């Protein structure tokens, strides 16, 4: 097994485990809508459940659960296919895809297990709240950001390679 496969599996596994442990801990130790201030007027642990996607998108649609499960599985397969096509030296892309994959699987587990996703990270400025999110959402966002950086670096590498020829 190649090092990049081991790295992908390790990042994805750790991400999924941390995501699920934090969600289980919140579910077992807090009541729905409980909020624990961590940094007053800025960051709380607030237990909510989201039936939709980002910003509760499609949360009231009757077909939302099969749709989100299908999209999550499709996304995971596309990520694995994209990963296989990467070169061995694209370590940042390997890492970012592993993070996105683990986030997608973490939220998929919630949707299959609960029919909704547990969110608890609540960033706000006094009464102005960003929608609550979780570790899986964070992994997806950071992974996408890192993938964007990798794409810019890859474009620069290709241009520099073209100039050499």
Among residues 19, 110, 119, 122, the one annotated as catalytic is 119
Catalytic residue among 19, 110, 122, 137: 137
Backbone angles phi, psi at 46, to 5 degrees: -130, 120
The answer to whether residue 137 is catalytic is yes
At a CB cut-off of 8 Å and minimum separation 6, what does 148 contact?
A: none
* C-alpha–C-alpha distance, residues 70 and 68, integer Å: 5
Single out the residue of 142, 130, 52, 67 nearest to residue 97, CA to CA.
142
110 catalytic residue (yes or no)? no
Q: Which residues are catalytic?
A: 119, 137
């Amino acid at each position: 097994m190649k090092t990049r496969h081991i790295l992908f599996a390790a990042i994805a596994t750790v991400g999924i485990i941390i995501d699920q442990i934090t969600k289980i801990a919140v579910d077992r130790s807090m009541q729905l809508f409980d909020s624990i201030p961590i940094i007053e007027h800025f960051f709380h642990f607030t237990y909510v459940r989201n039936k939709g996607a980002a910003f509760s998108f499609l949360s009231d649609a009757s077909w939302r659960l099969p749709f989100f499960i299908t999209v999550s599985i499709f996304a995971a397969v596309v990520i694995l296919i994209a990963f296989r096509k990467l070169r061995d030296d694209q370590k940042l892309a390997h890492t970012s895809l592993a993070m996105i994959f683990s986030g997608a699987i973490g939220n998929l587990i919630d949707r299959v297990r609960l029919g909704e996703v547990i969110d608890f990270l609540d960033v706000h400025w006094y009464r102005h709240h960003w929608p609550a999110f979780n570790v899986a959402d964070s992994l997806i966002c950071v992974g996408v950001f890192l993938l964007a950086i990798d794409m810019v670096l890859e474009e620069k590498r290709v241009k520099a390679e073209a100039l050499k020829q």
